[in-house]
Amino acid sequence: CALPISAIALEALVRGEIARAAYTRLCASIWIQTYVRGFVARVRFGALRTVAVRAQTRARGRRARRLYHEALRATVVLETWVRHQLWRLLFGRLRTAALLAQRHVRGAAARREAARRRKRRDAATAIQRCVRGRSRNVWFRGARAAATCLEALARGWFGRGRATRLRAAIAIEAAGRRSMVRTWYRGTKRATVCVQRRERGVQARRRYAEAKGA
């Protein structure tokens, strides 16, 4: 009975050793698998992290470039708008200044032209006055000389009565006066027409120059 018990114990001991060795190998293989899987997982995680970081970097770069281009376009649009507003403001100021300068220049030119026209009108009036005065003086002198001559001629007539001679002298004097008056009127009219024609020519040239300048 002792021999079978020892065989059983030995078999149990061997089986225990074999089981412990198998368990040890199993634990070692499990540990090795765990280590390898952890290493593979760490490698994959590192690779995935690197890929993710690169992808994030690229995405952030694209986003940053897109935001930069959008900001650049917005800046260009804003700068263009600001320049446009500044040019409009500057153009408005320059236009206002030009209009004021033109108005001042035109006002000064109009005042000078009005002064020249007044001077020409005054000169024309003075010329007409002088012409009329001279014509009247000439007519009066001529009439007086004609009257004196006619009176002397009337007094020297022979064989006629005083009344007849006087009537003839008066008629002749009236005819001479009418002739002198017509001569004076024609001369005055020609002078007036010349002055008016010159004044109208000056005004027409001024209006043409203003129309051409506008």
Model confidence over 189-211: pLDDT tens digits? 788 888 888 888 888 888 888 77
d(CA 152, CA 147): 8
Q: Report the C-alpha gap between 52 and 49 in whole angstroms.
A: 5
Maximum CA extent, the chain? 228
| pLDDT digit string, tens, across residues 124-154 | 677 777 766 666 666 667 667 766 776 676 5
Instruction: Give the range with max mean pLDDT: 58-72, 102-116, 165-179.
Output: 58-72
Distance CA 163, CA 165 (A): 5
pLDDT band at 162 (very low <50, low <70, confident <90, very high): low
Two structure tokens written together for 153: 């001629």
Would the CA dihedral through 123, 129, 131, 133 be positive or negative? negative
Go through the chain and tell me how many residues it has.
214
Q: What is the 3-state secondary structure (H, E, C) of 60-77?
A: HHHHHHHHHHHHHHHHHH
pLDDT tens by residue, 90-126: 888 888 888 888 888 888 878 888 888 787 777 767 7
Residue ranges in the chain assigned as alpha helix (H): 2-156, 162-213
Helix, strand or coil, per DSSP, at residue 18: helix
Of the candidates 125, 175, 169, 122, the one whose C-alpha atom is nearest the C-alpha of residue 149 is 169
Give CA–CA dist 214/105, Å, rounded: 13
CA–CA gap between residue 99 and residue 107 (Å, rounded):
12
Helix (H, G, I), strand (E, B) or coil at 214: coil
